[in-house]
Amino acid sequence: MGNVNLKINGLDVSAPAGSTILEAARAAGIKIPTLCFLKDINEIGACRMCIVEVKGARNLVAACVHPVNEGMEVRTNTPELIEARRRTLKLILSDHDKKCLSCVRSGKCELQELCQELGVEDENYFEGVKNEYELDTSAPHMVRDNNKCILCRRCSAVCEKSQAVAVIGPNNRGFATFIGSAFDMGLGETSCVNCGQCIAACPTGALYEKDFNDEVLKVIADPSKHVVVQPAPSVRAALGEEFGYPMGTDVEGKMAAALRRIGFDKVFDTDFSADLTIMEEAHEFLDRVKNGGVLPLMTSCSPGWVKYCEHYYPDLIDNLSSCKSPQQMFGAVAKTYYAEKMGLDPKDVVCVSVMPCTAKKFELGRDDQNAGGVPDVDISITTRELARLIRKCGIDFRSLPDEGFDDPMGESTGAGVIFGATGGVMEAALRTAVETLTGEELENVEFTDVRGTDGIKEATYHVAGMDVNVAVASGLSNAREVMERVRSGEANYHFIEIMGCPGGCVNGGGQPQVHADVRNFTDVRAIRAKVLYDNDAAKTLRKSHENPSIKKLYDEYLGEPGSEKAHHILHTTYVKRTIN
């Protein structure tokens, strides 16, 4: 389509035809403030923070939706524009709970940042009626505080467009408008899948995960409890952002050191149980292929996806792998095998997980997640919660030395670490399944066809005389598209990996908040995923079945993948749910 030429603040700018003023300005190094805008998700020009002057236009225009034209002249920073933005902020604050000191988003709140930049102070600019709302704490994973909502609609757009769930949206009209669910249901009463993508999208403290750090410190302080911790693969790819490291910094060593200083008795790694998941899942896949089982087999690592399937595709539940997620497998092994080896009563072992995912908080309470007669995992905190816990405990994260994980559940392969990226579970499973089917060692373990941040990826591999058709989807709107193909019989897949969050766990709802100005113009998913692939490439062992600790676990305790004992401890069941 070519480029168009325009002027922005007197600067000559060339931008692709069809782009917006906001995009053209950004490419020229000029920031135009936004609050409601999320690229490709919420482009509605509603908040009016991005208004600019266009020569010849009768009114101010919203830069996020106004296209560039040849010869256009734009001003973004006149005194009149700045005053108009200040007035908008004052109107927002007039119906906003300004308890910034105690807000979980203080210092990372986009509204707060704009107020600071434009000199809008915490004052009652407009006296009058103020809306007051009760907190919605009905969901197991999060809290909704509409007293801090600015009606930007980013949360409802993500819920509908990215996640195909659409259980929240604007209710009522005018000054009475609020974001909520149909019929004023609490979020926990709906078919919400607990993914937390609404939290990641929210610019303020209106949405936040339920914090369990006090419970973590309480069990650590109890001398009768043996407390173990397991951080997920993608936590190490993002935690550093909370402490000033550039996005894409691997902080695995400092993370392990910090967890040890918090006071955990053992610092293990969910990568270990990711390898274990592959052993069981690959065996399950091969068993279904050889013995006429239900195909395609669909992965079950993502609890948000599993709940989505239970609500929206209950007729395809039998396609789900019966494997527990790595989080739950780890807890199950910790309270059986590990407890037995250490001479501990499972009731005295407390398993804490650190996850990029808010849906893991829901997963703890699912049925059939208690292999040792007690809950497999007791507490799950997000990457954000861990960062707050580190600060609460007075740990200087940046000064920590790099430390390793404890044995025996801290050893992992490259296959385990790539679980955090979309396509990672599929690639890890293929590394083991192909070697098992062919009986030959893979020369190249990298299945690049299933890598990348595309929402849907497909590939066919010719293995041991048969074509294996695979699909990978991330983000539940993409999952829906794949499931419709399966349901209609249009697609002939053998194996499907689905991650609930777009881009996989690296972009989970519990990861560090990313300012919309960064998210709109940077591929956060790819940057974080690169950490995991680099970690994989640096490993000596890159296939789950090569993990010595996993081999030992089967030799000493489980027998073999898919054994009766392994099935009892490492597998689970699902339920058909209604849509609310």
Pairing of strands 73-75, 3-8: parallel
Scanning 439-547, the segments in alpha helix (DSSP H) are 476-488, 516-519, 524-538
Q: Tens digits of per-residue pLDDT, 523-580?
A: 999 999 999 999 999 999 999 999 999 999 999 999 999 999 999 999 999 999 999 8
pLDDT of the residue at 443: 87
With CA atoms as reference, report the closest residue to 203 among 239, 153, 253, 244: 153
With CA atoms as reference, report the closest residue to 575 among 322, 303, 307, 302: 307
Structural tokens at position 206: 């209106």
Q: Tens digits of per-residue pLDDT, 414-449?
A: 999 999 999 999 999 999 999 999 999 998 999 999
Structural tokens at position 154: 């980013």
Domain 3-77 of CATH type 3.10.20.740:
yes
Q: Fill in the amino acid letter for 462.
A: H
pLDDT of the residue at 126: 84
pLDDT of the residue at 245: 98
Q: What is the C-alpha separation between 268 and 409, in angstroms, rounded?
A: 5
Question: What is the maximum span of the chain, computed from C-alpha positions, in angstroms?
Answer: 80
Q: What is the C-alpha separation between 498 and 496, in angstroms, rounded?
A: 6
Block residue for tokens 């007293």 = 147
With CA atoms as reference, report the closest residue to 202 among 284, 110, 264, 279: 110
DSSP 17-37: TT-BHHHHHHHTT-----SS-
Q: Where are the beta strands (DSSP E) in 76-177?
A: 142-144, 169-171
Q: Which CATH architecture has domain 125-209?
A: 2-Layer Sandwich (3.30)
Every domain range in the chain assigned CATH 3.30.70.20? 125-209
Q: What is the mean pLDDT of residues 246-253?
A: 98
Residue 469 pairs with which residues in a beta bridge? Answer: 460
Residue 62 pairs with which residues in a beta bridge? Answer: 51
pLDDT of the residue at 93: 94
For residue 427, give the 3-state DSSP assignment.
helix
Q: What is the mean pLDDT of residues 318-330?
A: 98
pTM: 0.96
For residue 197, give the 3-state DSSP assignment.
helix
Task: Return the percentage of the chain with pLDDT > 90, whole number.
Answer: 97
Fold classification of 214-570 (topology level): Rossmann fold (3.40.50)
Q: Are 35 and 203 in contact (CB under 8 A)?
A: yes
With CA atoms as reference, report the closest residue to 550 among 349, 283, 360, 260: 283
Q: What is the mean pLDDT of residues 181-205?
A: 97
The region, left, alpha or beta by phi > 0 then psi within -120 to 50, assigned to residue 410 is alpha
Give the Cβ contact number of residue 462 at 10 Å.
8
For residue 365, give the 3-state DSSP assignment.
coil
Q: Tens digits of per-residue pLDDT, 7-65?
A: 999 999 999 999 999 999 999 999 999 999 999 999 999 999 999 999 999 999 999 99
Question: Distance between the two ends of the chain, CA-based, in angstroms?
Answer: 45
Dihedral (Cα; 456, 461, 463, 466), 10-degree rounding: 90
pLDDT of the residue at 294: 97
Q: What is the C-alpha separation between 93 and 262, in angstroms, rounded?
A: 38
Query: Could you tell me the CA-to-CA distances from 471 to 244, 285, 453, 477, 566 in Å, in that order?
Result: 36, 14, 13, 15, 27
Q: What is the mean pLDDT of residues 79-86?
A: 96
- The secondary structure of residue 338, as a DSSP letter, is I
Every domain range in the chain assigned CATH 3.40.50.1780? 214-570
With CA atoms as reference, report the closest residue to 471 among 433, 505, 499, 444: 499
